[in-house]
Amino acid sequence: MNTRDFYFGVLAITSFFALILAVYFTIKTRDDIAWSLIPLVISIGIFVWALMVFFHLAPQNTSPK
């Protein structure tokens, strides 16, 4: 397995669970919009972290052969 593929998998899985978390808490706390925005901000933060991992760490660990 290529290291870049591994980091892409981490990005996809992390983003998926962040989206599930945001949708769950948005539905659960739909009466109070402020509590709906908190999970959305957290999931955006998780997504940005996963993007940083993918685009900054993955290229360093791959070398053309």
Domain limits of the chain?
A: 11-61
3-state SS record for 48-62: HHHHHHHHHHCHHHC
Mapped onto helix, strand or coil, the DSSP state of residue 44 is: helix
**11-64 pLDDT, tens digit each:** 778 778 878 877 787 777 777 766 667 777 877 887 777 777 777 766 655 555
pTM of the model: 0.50
Q: How far is residue 42 from each of residues 5, 48, 54, measured CA to CA in Å?
A: 25, 10, 18
